[in-house]
Chain A
Amino acid sequence: MDYFNISIPLIAITGNITAQIFSYKYLLGRKLLRSEYFGFLWGVMILAVGEIFAYEGPAAEALALACANLTIYACLAYCYFNFINMGETARRIRLLRELYDSGPGLNKEEILSRYNAEEVVGLRMRRLLNNHQIISRGGRYYVGSPVMLFIAKGIVLMKLAVLGKKSEFDVQHG
């Protein structure tokens, strides 16, 4: 193993970021989620090419190193994915933005006039409907793609395991 081998996931994540930005601006009609998938896949291709160039036997050791690099790349890609999505959806980031733009600061009423629960729910409903994660029929909402539901249930399980409760507003158990 040499320093080229351990730099492969860093090269791959650089490729991911470059491809994501380029595809968002010039290829995919400013579709953010699609550009994130595109960037991720581009990074995986760079990783694969890098691993082929860096290959040294025995095969079992090379495979283990490739798995380690794939894990590092996947984690870095996940961090980048979340960096983009935090900017897009996180309430704390939006609140910081409002305070950043305001200069002298804002009181609670001023903050809520700029950003409030109604806007939070409205934005999310639009996003969920646009991405077909929920569907609307006859004035009622139903689950569309099960992927988000699966993720939601996974997060609830992690809340139980780490925090001992299903919601931040529940009383802690255990």
Chain B
Amino acid sequence: MSVLISGSLLFAVAFLLHLALWRMHYPRNPIKTLVLLFGTVAAAGIIFLSLFASYTAVQYVHIFMFFFSLFFCYLITYSAIEADSPSLVIILEVARCGKEGLAVGQLKESLGNDLLIEPRLKELVESGLVDLKGSTYKINGKGRAFFTPFIIYRKFLGLGKGG
């Protein structure tokens, strides 16, 4: 019970702080800020629990496994919250048309490169995965390190480029 309660409370505190912070000032690098925020709450949680609770080492490990698994889950979901997923935009547009249905050509008019591609290119540069020199985009070491697990996995399964 202690793992569920302590882990859930810690996550709830971190999440509420995240909502409050985002309302006050949207950070320039939201992912980095989330990592710092949740990491700080975890560290503060260790101090608080060691002062006011008597957990064993195994229980501490379990609580933080619980906390960080919820955090990684949220971090991945956050990218879907931050950026509009084209699939979900399509579904919502189809649903909005209701019984009339959405005409086949209608989507392509409203979803162009300025909405679907250029913002993602800009984010890759801002997040430091791609360098922009003049008009040339080039993947850098950090981008290669981030991308390598995907390419290894997809080549192993014989999957295509995706997108």
Q: How far is the CB of B128 from chain A (nearest CB, A)?
A: 12
The one of B103, B115, B121 that contacts A117, using a Cβ cutoff of 8 Å:
B115
Interface residues of B in 51-93 (CB under 8 A from A): 56, 58-59, 61-62, 65-66, 69-70, 72-73, 76-78, 80-88, 90-92
CB distance A99 to B138 under 8 Å? yes
B150 at interface (Cβ–Cβ under 8 A)?
yes
Chain A interfacial residues counted at CB < 8 A: 88
Q: Are B120 and A95 in contact (CB under 8 A)?
A: yes
B43 touches A (CB below 8 Å): no
- A79-B72 in contact given A88-B162, A120-B111, A124-B90 (Cβ < 8 Å): yes
Question: Are B102 and A140 in contact (CB-based, < 8 A)?
Answer: yes
Interface residues of A in 95-136 (CB under 8 A from B): 95-100, 104-108, 111-112, 115-121, 123-125, 127-128, 133-134, 136
Any chain A CB within 8 A of the CB of B139?
yes
* 25 A-B contact pairs sorted by A residue (CB < 8 Å): A1-B56, A6-B58, A67-B4, A68-B3, A75-B70, A75-B73, A86-B150, A89-B87, A89-B163, A94-B161, A96-B139, A105-B133, A105-B139, A106-B137, A115-B163, A117-B116, A120-B111, A120-B116, A121-B90, A124-B87, A125-B90, A128-B90, A133-B91, A155-B81, A162-B18
Query: Which of A24, A64, A112, A121 has a CB less than 8 Å from the CB of B3?
Result: A64
CB pair B111–A117 under 8 Å, yes or no, is: yes
Chain A residues closer than 8 Å to B87, beta-carbon distance: 89, 124, 127-128, 148
Specify which chain B residues have a CB less than 8 angstroms from the CB of A172 in the assembled complex: 26
Q: How big is the B interface, by class?
A: 35 or more
Residue of B26, B62, B144, B163 touching A94 (CB-CB under 8 A): B163
Stretch at the interface among A38-46, A47-55, A163-171: A163-171
A96, B66: Cβ atoms under 8 Å?
no
A93 contacts across to B, CB distance below 8 A? 147, 150, 162-163
The A-B contact count (CB < 8 A) is 239
A117 touches B147 (CB 8 A): no
Other-chain contact of A141, B84, B104, B137, B163 (Cβ < 8 Å):
B104
A88 partner residues in chain B, CB cutoff 8 A:
159, 162
B117 touches A82 (CB 8 A): no
Please determine whether A116 and B162 come into contact, CB atoms closer than 8 angstroms. Answer: no
Closest Cβ–Cβ distance, residue B92 to chain A (whole Å): 5
B39 at interface (Cβ–Cβ under 8 A)? no
What residues on A are CB-neighbors of B23 within 8 Å? 164, 174
Interface assignment of A78: CB less than 8 Å from any CB of chain B? yes
Nearest CB in chain B to that of A93: its residue:
B150
Contact A158 B81 (CB under 8 A): yes
Mark interface residues in B132-163 (1 if CB within 8 Å of A CB, else 0).
01011111000110110111011011110111
Q: Chain A nearest CB: distance from B55 CB in Å? A: 10
In the complex, chain B residues whose CB is within 8 Å of the CB of A15 = none
Q: Is the CB of A158 within 8 A of B77?
A: yes
Q: Is the CB of B66 within 8 A of A64?
A: no
Task: Determine whether the beta carbon of B121 is less than 8 Å from that of A108.
Answer: yes
